[in-house]
Homo-oligomer: A and B are copies of this chain.
Amino acid sequence: MDNLLFTQELQTYLGERISREPAVRDQHGVGFSYHECQPPDAVVYPQTTEEIAEIVKICAKYGVPIIPFGAGTSIEGHVLALRGGVCIDLSLMNQIMEVNQADMYVTVQAGVTRNQLDGLLEGSGFFFPIGPGVNATLGGMASTRASGTNAVRYGTMKDNVISLTVVLPDGKIIKTASKAKKSSAGYDLTRLFVGAEGTLGVISELTLKLHSEPETIYAAVCPFPSVEAAVNTAIKTIQKGVPIAKIELLDDQMMRAINRYSSLDYQEVPTLFLEFGGTAAEVEAQILAVQQFAQEFGAEDFVWEKDEANRKKLWRARTDAAPAALALRPGSKLMSTDVCVPISRLAQCIVETQLDIQQTRILAPILGHVGDGNFHLTILIDPDDFESFERAKALNERLVRRALAMEGTCTGEHGVGVGKLAYMALEHEGALDVMRAIKQSIDPNNLMNPGKLLPAG
């Protein structure tokens, strides 16, 4: 970036839509995480795919790294400018380009946020199911293969992207697929760019699947005598094919946190938060089935919420779990773990981890997308206590190794960024070389979000 010709060329092309202000750069050098800020040299604000392509061409010509940036909500250091370079902020690319109700898809620019899309779809009878806990952009969600509480029924971003427009590292623009619902026409480039964390190109537009809103939505809360009982209820629900919309586990610590934060008085024991969708008759049948499973595993209390306001209040408490956990010890930094294991191993994985947490003398409430086998520790770290940070990292490492030994993954939905780099070889072994070969073939000069996803070879 010290190359004057480069700076001039970029400035000439972008006019006002480039910033080198330290405050702006600092904002763009860190996500929602404990990672240290590493600011880019400049931040640019394209408005179209073609502008991104031009920016990428200029960067490629001068060998300058490129970091795509959505809402800055990723939590594994995905946006850190490890080698400096240009941050492409996609916030001006916030146009919804087509809503096609007949074909049940929407095409958006990559900077459109989850909330913006929700707002647009409200009242249409359709919705987009993927919702991480924050107001991320859809480009960012695709790049990290995000999911959230609806994944148990609707899958993750990989299942809900029909096609992408991508700017490649040489500035060429491609579409990864047609708008057909399925295709066998060659390699699945859509799924290659979903989850690639900006290391293979910049996602500039997305065509996403819409789903019909269920006629009726009910929620329920069910406290359990143990984590095993709660998880076994979830396993049986999935096995019996109940098309449950959400099934979330909060452990005793997390229940304590949300009670305090949201002035609630739930029992402070392992608890499932559930959501059911369908016709009224379907939903009632689903609830009766799950209630019976819960009772089999020793649950005594099973509270349904039919009322929309109460249901939203209940899920608000769940959504606020991260700030609620943080409020247990104000001033803390948050480290979120993200392992995912086959569901039959989940109870054991959580119980062993709870024991580990106790022995480590760390505060780490747990919540889990239990229908998928995915759970998060929200580890609270004292930023002034280096040793607590080291203890948290060691706890996370033991957790990842535990999950991998159970045929699981180090990250169910947050992505690798820099935070999970250390586990990639352990998880993938020889397959990591295939990933490296792909990276090398598409981005031979390693300019696209360098240092993320793939550990140094």
Contact = CB atoms under 8 A, between A and B. Distances in A.
A423 B439 CA distance: 27
A287 to B, nearest CB: 13
Contact of A186 (B179, B185, B404, B435): B435
A305 interface: no
A409 B185 contact: yes
A5 interface: no
Interface in A94-124: 100-105
A268 interface: no
Q: Which secondary structure dominates chain A's binding surface?
A: loop
B185 A416 contact: yes
A61 interface: no
Contacts of A194: 188
A442 interface: yes
Interface residues of A, number: 93
A105 B79 CA distance: 36
Nearest to A175: B431
B342 A180 contact: yes
Interface string A168-205: 10001111111111111111110110111000000000
A450 interface: no
Interface stretch (A39-47, A238-246, A390-398): A238-246
B241 A176 contact: no
A30 interface: no
A211 B102 contact: no
Nearest to A423: B185
Contact of A185 (B178, B427, B430): B427
A415 B186 CA distance: 7
B102 A187 contact: no
The 10 closest A-B pairs by CB, nearest first: A212-B241, A441-B441, A191-B191, A102-B344, A183-B409, A180-B340, A174-B431, A179-B407, A437-B441, A103-B342
Given A103-B342, A178-B407, A437-B442, 4 more contacts: A184-B195, A186-B453, A188-B195, A282-B282
Interface of A: 100-105, 144-147, 151, 155-156, 158-159, 168, 172-189, 191-192, 194-196, 211-214, 235, 238-241, 243, 279, 281-282, 285, 338, 340-344, 372-374, 404, 407-416, 420, 423-424, 427-435, 437-442, 453-454
11 contacts: A102-B342, A145-B182, A172-B433, A180-B412, A181-B340, A182-B409, A185-B409, A186-B195, A186-B453, A188-B191, A281-B281
